[in-house]
Structure 1
Amino acid sequence: MRLDKFLKISRIIKRRTLAKEACDKGLCSLNDKLAKAGDEVKIGDILEIRLGSRTVKAEVLSLEENTKKEDSKAMYRRIE
């Protein structure tokens, strides 16, 4: 699954266009490497997203094409 799509479906970032912009600006890293919006996300990957003054670090637990809002938190586990 593409990184920008994962960020949107898991609701870490509200809209896919915002997720793509964050990746384009260099605010996202995947397994400690700078990530692009089209990079493939796999189960077990570690994401780090800098949103304003806070940083979200999370491990990918599942990849779902569609999910309800209440089930989206099960797609990742926050670290720290």
Structure 2
Amino acid sequence: MRLDKFLKVSRLIKRRTLAKEVADQGRISINGNQAKASSIVAIGDTLEIKFGQKLVTVEVTSLKETVRKEEADLLYRIIKEEKIEVQ
């Protein structure tokens, strides 16, 4: 599944266009490698996403084309969340 679609379906990022912009800015990495919106996400991959002052690391646990809002958080497991110091 494409990265931008996974971020939207899992509701880590609400809109696919916003997910594409974040990826194109270099703020997302898959298994330590910088990712593009078109990068392929697989089960077991580790995503690092920079949200402003925060760095969120998640592991992909499931892939589905569509999912209900209540079940969206079953697609990933949060490994850690940390604050980023801005210089």
The Cα shift of 1:7 comes to 0.3
Structure 1 stretches of at least 4 aligned residues deviating more than 4 Å after TM superposition: none
For structure 1, the 5+ residue unaligned runs are: none
TM score, norm. by length of structure 1: 0.98
For structure 2, the 5+ residue unaligned runs are: 81-87
The Cα shift of 1:55 comes to 1.0
Residue 40 (structure 2) pairs with residue 40 (structure 1): yes
Residue 30 (structure 2) pairs with residue 27 (structure 1): no
Supply the AA of the counterpart residue of 1:58.
Answer: V
Supply the AA of the counterpart residue of 1:57.
Answer: T
User: Equivalent residues in 2 for 1:13-24 (5 A)?
Assistant: 13-24=13-24
Percent identical: 56
Residues 9-60 of structure 1, C-alpha deviations (whole Å, 9 max, x = no match): 0000010000000000000000000000000000000000001101111000
> Aligned partners of 1:56 and 1:68: how far apart in 2?
22
The Cα shift of 1:63 comes to 0.2
TM score, norm. by length of structure 2: 0.91
Residue 69 (structure 2) pairs with residue 72 (structure 1): no
Q: Which structure has the bigger radius of gyration?
A: 2
